[in-house]
Amino acid sequence: MMDKNAKFKELGRAKIGLNKSLVVSIRSDGFFSLAQQVHAETDNDNTISVFLKNTVMVYRDGLVAMRDLLDEVVANLPPEENVEEKPQIDPHV
């Protein structure tokens, strides 16, 4: 169960879509969180940022295992010319 008083410190972020970022933070109790953040423009040209539910929470060893998995997946990606059609990113997601 999450401590309601837990503090988060952002460690990094990557843009993963037109209006979406992946944010990695460390919580004050030692868990790391990987969360999607969506950005939307309001009618007043302000930007609203919202974190989506279902954040991945792991300790350091889980974060390292995820890095290793992503390194392996990226190293074995097929060349882009072998991909039949590049999917379009929905600007509303």
Instruction: Please give the domain boundaries of the chain with CATH numbers for all domains.
Output: 8-78 (2.30.31)
Task: Summarize pLDDT for 46-63 with one digit per residue, the tens.
Answer: 999 999 988 899 999 999
The more confidently predicted of residues 63 and 85 is 63
Our separate counts of H helices and E strands in the chain read 1, 5
Please choose, from the candidates 35, 37, 33, 29, the residue with its C-alpha nearest in 3D space to the C-alpha of residue 63: 33
Q: What pLDDT sits at residue 2?
A: 62
Mean pLDDT of 26-41: 93
3-state secondary structure of 89: coil
DSSP state of 77: P
Q: Name the pLDDT band for 5 (thresholds 50, 70, 90).
A: confident
Mean pLDDT of 71-86: 81
Helix (H) or strand (E) holding 23: strand 20-27
Q: Is a pLDDT exceeding 80 seen at residue 36? A: yes
The more confidently predicted of residues 5 and 50 is 50
